[in-house]
Structure 1
Amino acid sequence: MDNSLSAALPAATPAPQPIRTANDPAATAQSFEAVFVGQMVRIMMDTAPSDGPFSGGHGEEMFRGVLAEKMGDAIARRGGFGLAPAVLNQIIALQEGGA
């Protein structure tokens, strides 16, 4: 085996880790609700028939996950299902040392 090529390569350095900063608990709770609602929408869309004269075909199938994610974001921004306030209360309780 020829080691001349591997000897010329620099040693791999670990990727820099992102700096952890204190996130806004309300934004975190809303983001959690958006992901949760998006997953529910995706499951709902998977059970809906996707054939027929107005079907988007393969293109619709490819972007269905993106649509579900964006719908989850939009629903959460407009108040969602009320999950974000409950999650926010738990985040605050955990930050204060309670459970």
Structure 2
Amino acid sequence: MSDLIAPTFSQNRTNPKPLSSEDTKLMDAAKKLEASFLAEMLKSAGFGKSRENLGGGAGEDQFGSFLVQAQAEAMVEKGGIGLAQSLFEALKESENE
């Protein structure tokens, strides 16, 4: 059952030691990029658009993008789709070359 739990990004999968401060900054940037990507995917899927019946009016239209961004950030914090980890590992690898 533990195999189904999403990985956390506080540690690199290939190297279980804690991240340095530079690596933490790099991971934070990778997480922000993944959240932006997921927010765009959610928008494309129709999230954040006001519903025609029982809609929230102008307020819902104005703040829908904030809701989508918050949902995307929550997805990343719960493990996301692995994009942040992949970006982090690729950037670390290119840094070592």
> For the superposition of Structure 1 and Structure 2, which TM-score range results when normalised by the shorter chain?
0.5 to 0.7
Residue of structure 2 equivalent to 1:27: 28
CA shift, 1:34, in A, is 1.0
| Runs of 5+ unmatched residues, structure 1 | 1-21
* Cα distance in 2 for residues equivalent to 1:78 and 1:62: 26
CA shift, 1:50, in A, is 2.1
* Cα distance in 1 for residues equivalent to 2:66 and 2:48: 16
2:47–2:68 Cα contact (<8 Å) kept: no
The one-letter code of the counterpart of 1:82 is G
CA shift, 1:46, in A, is 5.9
The one-letter code of the counterpart of 2:59 is G
Residue of structure 2 equivalent to 1:94: 94
* Cα distance in 1 for residues equivalent to 2:94 and 2:41: 26
CA shift, 1:81, in A, is 1.1
Using structure 2 for the length normalisation, give the TM-score: 0.66
* Cα distance in 2 for residues equivalent to 1:38 and 1:48: 13
Q: Percent identity?
A: 23
* Cα distance in 2 for residues equivalent to 1:89 and 1:60: 38
Residue of structure 2 equivalent to 1:66: 66
Larger radius of gyration: 1
Secondary structure at the aligned position of 1:87 is classed as helix
The one-letter code of the counterpart of 1:55 is G
Q: Does the C-alpha gap of structure 1 residues 62 and 48 become closer, same or farther in structure 2, counting only changes over 3 Å?
A: closer
Corresponding pairs, count: 76
